[in-house]
A and B are shown apart, each in its own frame.
Chain A
């Protein structure tokens, strides 16, 4: 983590293909653990408190089968998105059913504009069904990470 400017938004080691989780809390914790293991989150429990606080204000499930738990947190070192695919789906509170794609978006508290712009363009991508479709169809974590990095303008 010497040069955080050049750390990519996501990578294979923070992608979980075929996540198994009963609740959104469980799903979020599993994704957050990958962020902590990768050194992108310094304090796992502290970060989860921040994500839960955001989630309690309004559920982050969205139409089209996606869930986007997210937070700006002092425990985040670099803007990151941990991704999970789930065959069974996890209930993130969306009206049209469970989320089969889950994006845990982590932004450092004092992130600069450039980093926040990357997250903004990721958010814009999530609206597009063809983008979501390509992620659902990807078979490996490496493929998913590669698609996101390619599609989200740095």
Chain B
């Protein structure tokens, strides 16, 4: 038998705690587990949601309104005054347990709820972190599953499987005894899993903010962020936007006849239209303009012939938004140049060097973060450490997305660190003047690199720089109360 209780009193210095102690003694005597949240003046530590969810019954021994009562939604409860809990604790515990099947449920008859709600009375910074972590924790399995499938595709089919129509051709041929068919299958499924990254990230951030009404605008917004090419930074925006629009709508006072259709039809409809519409209208054109301007700038820079500088800039761009518009400009710039030089026999032509820079810079973010999770485990949450293991493999196969969960969970610390690491690597490739003829990356194209040994050195240095910078950044203004471990316990 598991009981949770909340106690509170007018002054908040005596009865709150005495009642808590009395209930704990009474429950212990009866052989029950109990956790009490004292909403008194000595600060109140909210019960972990997991503890609330595991409880069989709730006792509210409160003289004040229970704070964030919706955390207990769906639980049978007993409401009494604080004095009664103090005077007759044993009788109160017995009657709470006896009445489980007949007691009213908190929040009316609302059904059981998903368990990732962020508590409302915390510091804003902590709440933002928890919202982000909620989205990230749901996204990580998609990154790992999709990323490993894609890596497997390259292992089986070589990088060529991703070029042109190779994948579709192999799938159409449907030859089960051809390894290329299996490579194409892995690539197709992995790519499909990756298509969920932005919607899941955005959707579960919105969910953490607004609960169920946030899911639809969050998912739709994340998909729109992908459609307009806004990348994971766009998905972070739609997560917050969708969440707060849905939250605002769910708090509107509406006439009774409208209430039944609000959560199922109206809120998802309006919030999705607002979130998706804003992304298309406000971000669509500027992103296009930004990409054009960046491409023009890169062309000019490359014409200057200062290869280390070009490498630095390309590296910074590759790591900035990992799949977003800036990253895409850098990657497309390199593969575009490559396409014009197919007949060129000079292995270190500037076009090939630029391709090599982009590829190396795309590998260091996941590799650097994977290294960081090994060096200082405690700076990362458990899910992040698991993601770190997958990130080794993803980085090795030029799947930069492996770094997105880290960047989304803690953008201000992680993004600058991985940008500098990638910039370093890009510049080193320029200095070493290493070329690559394949429009892809990762271990599978290393044999095509003009100087594999120095290339590995450049990637290794960038990886170490990234890891060290991430660790330094993670130590800046880190509030011990909001460690990732604690946050994770709270949202698990």
Contacts and interface: CB of A to CB of B under 8 A. Distances in A.
B16 interface: yes
Nearest to A50: B11
B42 A62 contact: no
Interface residues of B, number: 22
Interface size class of A (residues with CB under 8 A): 20 to 34
Contacts of A57: 10
A70 B25 contact: no
Given A62-B87, A113-B43, A120-B38, A127 B13 contact: no
Contacts of B13: 70, 72, 105, 107, 116, 119-120, 123
B41 interface: yes
Contacts of A16: none
A126 B18 contact: yes
A63 interface: yes
Interface string B253-287: 00000000000000000000000000000000000
Contacts of A38: none
Interface in A34-83: 54, 57-58, 60, 62-63, 68, 70-72
A105 B14 contact: yes
Q: Which of B14, B20, B40 has the most CB of A within 10 A?
A: B14
Interface of A: 54, 57-58, 60, 62-63, 68, 70-72, 95, 105, 107, 111, 113, 116-117, 119-121, 123-128
Contact of A58 (B12, B18, B21, B83): B83
B17 A71 contact: no
Contacts of A120: 13, 16-17, 38, 40, 42
Given A62-B86, A116-B13, A124 B42 contact: no
Contact of A123 (B16, B25, B63, B83): B16
Looking at B20, B21, B42, which has the most chain A CB atoms within 10 Å of its CB? Answer: B42
A116 B42 CA distance: 5
A71 B11 contact: yes
Contacts of B12: 72
A124 B21 contact: yes
Contact of B14 (A63, A117, A123, A128): A123
A119 B16 CA distance: 11
A117 B18 contact: no
Interface string B35-79: 000101111000000000000000000010000000000000000
A94 B63 CA distance: 18
